[in-house]
Structure 1
Amino acid sequence: MSELLIHRGEWVVVCDGAKALVLENAGDEKFPNLKTLEVFEQKDLATHELGAEKPGRAYSPAGHGVRGTIEQTDWHDQAERDFLVHLVKHLDAALAAGKVKSLIVVAPPRALGMIRPAYSHALKSAVRAEFDKDFVKLPVHQIEKHLTGV
């Protein structure tokens, strides 16, 4: 990963479908110092705790009875999507309140694919960079090192 300059006061959001770290650079571009502002975590619930929808059925038009099932809801996938949409709403509110002017998003490709459609126009404009990396389980000092090379 090439060296990234993180501006003073800029937020770095490191997330996946179950955890998010909101970090702020308390240092400067030359000597970054990421500090944790907020941590969001989602409980890892069993499927039966997430939903109880029974699979649908498709009926044959010729009256030959039931044929297979219709696509079943993936409750873990939906929980991840809901978590990330909630995070985006939180970031959008912080942006509107003037708490942050620009941010960097770091997430695995799957999470980025879920989070991007939820960006508002203002938030999309505020995202200065995105990195498709899974750093959420790393300590903050290692995240800083991976992003900046310092």
Structure 2
Amino acid sequence: MTDWHELEERRFVKQVAAAAERIVRGEPSTSLIIVAPPRTLAALRSDFHPDVKLRIVAELAKDLTRHPVGDIEKHLRDE
């Protein structure tokens, strides 16, 4: 049986990894902080291009998708 949610999550991870690669290629001095739920974060780690991995300065394994930007900033400061 096909798990459509799993397939969509995989497609999303690939899109995010590709977007991160475009960002670091366009802005060579860019540093990245990656925030994602633990399972998604693990998938991203395996899909990130080595150039992206070099730019990651911090990771936060939390689902903050429903939080306002101010709350996300607080989580980043507290970690």
SS of the equivalent of 1:101 reads coil
Number of equivalenced pairs: 78
Amino acid at match of 2:34: V
The alpha carbon displacement at 1:110 in A equals 1.1
Which protein has the bigger strand share? 1
Structure 2: any 5+ residue segments left out of the alignment?
none
Aligned residue number for residue 71 of structure 2: 142
Q: Identify which range, 94-103 or 130-139, moves more after superposition.
A: 94-103
Q: State the distance in 2 between where 1:87 and 1:100 align.
A: 19
Instruction: Say if 2:59 is the partner of 1:130.
Output: yes
Q: Letter of the aligned partner of 1:106 in structure 2?
A: V
Identity %: 37
User: In 2, distance between residues paired with 1:139 and 1:88?
Assistant: 23
Compute the displacement of 1:99 (Å).
6.6
2: CA distance between counterparts of 1:106 and 1:88?
13
Mark the CA change 1:89 to 1:100 in structure 2 (over 3 Å): closer, same or farther. Answer: farther
Q: Secondary structure at the match of 1:111?
A: helix
Larger Rg: 1
Following TM superposition, by how much is the alpha carbon of 1:146 offset from its aligned partner in structure 2, in angstroms?
1.6
Which runs of 5 or more residues in structure 1 are unaligned? 1-71
Alpha-carbon deviations, 1:4-55, whole Å to 9, x = none? xxxxxxxxxxxxxxxxxxxxxxxxxxxxxxxxxxxxxxxxxxxxxxxxxxxx
Q: How far apart, CA to CA, are the structure 1 residues paired with 2:6 and 2:29?
A: 29
Provide the residue aligned with 1:82 in structure 2: 11
Q: Which runs of 4+ in 1 moved over 4 A?
A: none
**What residue number does 1:95 align with?**
24
Point out the structure with the larger helix share: 2
Q: Is the 8 A contact 1:94 1:100 kept in 2?
A: no
- Which residue of structure 2 aligns with residue 114 of structure 1? 43
